Structures are given as structure tokens and as C-alpha cells.
Amino acid sequence: MEVGEESVAQTFTISNEGPGILEVEAPVLDNEVDFLLDYDAEDFPADLEDDDVVEFHVTFTPQDEGELTGTVSIDYGDAERGSFIVELEGEGIVRPAGSTCGNPYVITELP
């Protein structure tokens, strides 16, 4: 993704597929520079019953060139369950001077 641009948001769904209630705290993003986290604040914290779902969205917005990473942590309101970690990664690119294409091919040697 080109530095300074914004990707299409990726949707993540948290669901309870078992019996009982699953407590889910709001997701937390550790890299707010290169990624955007979006969710409906009214959905969290959530007490998900069987087959209930909540969603959050992450957009890649690279501010630097190179491999960029981040994580989204989701706590379940129970120390025994701990947290679930979603690992994020993307690559920020800078087009070469004079480039007009969205996927630059760099020529290092002419025939």
C-alpha cells in the first residue's frame, strides 16, 4: 500500500459458538500510526450468548516505507482465558520518482 493511502477495511467477527455467555472487552490496537481500528462503542463490552456476534474493522494506513506490524488485543473479561491477539502486517511503499503505476516495477539494469 502506498504511504499515505488507506486500504479497504478488513472486518473481524467475534462469535460465541458454545453454550454459556462469552464476555468480550473492546479491542485494543497497539499501532495507531499505521492502522486504524473502528468499532461501535455501544457493542463493547459485550456479553455474547450462543450464536451472538460483534465486529470490528481494521484499515491499513502506512505512514512509513517497509514492513509494518501491529496487534489487536481482545480481552475476554476472565483472567483464565487471557487475551486473543490478532497480528497485523502490511507493507508501505513509496513509488519511484516519475512513476505513474500503482505497482512499481523497478528497473535496475538496462540491456
The CATH number assigned to the domain holding 85 equals: 2.60.40.10
Instruction: Give the number of other Cβ atoms within 10 Å of residue 40's Cβ.
Output: 11
Domain assignment of residue 108, yes or no:
no
Residue 55: its pLDDT value, please?
97
Residue 105: its pLDDT value, please?
63
How far apart are the C-alpha atoms of 29 and 60, rounded to whole Å? 12
Confidence of residue 107 (pLDDT cuts 50, 70, 90): low
Provide the sign of the torsion angle of the four alpha carbons 35, 9, 38, 48, taken in this order. negative
Q: Output 38 or 100, whichever has higher pLDDT.
A: 38
Q: pTM for the complete prediction? A: 0.82
Domain assignment of residue 59, yes or no:
yes
- As a whole number, mean pLDDT of residues 65-93 equals 92
Domain assignment of residue 33, yes or no:
yes
Domain assignment of residue 18, yes or no:
yes
- As a whole number, mean pLDDT of residues 66-77 equals 95
Domain assignment of residue 36, yes or no:
yes
Q: What is the mean pLDDT of the chain?
A: 90
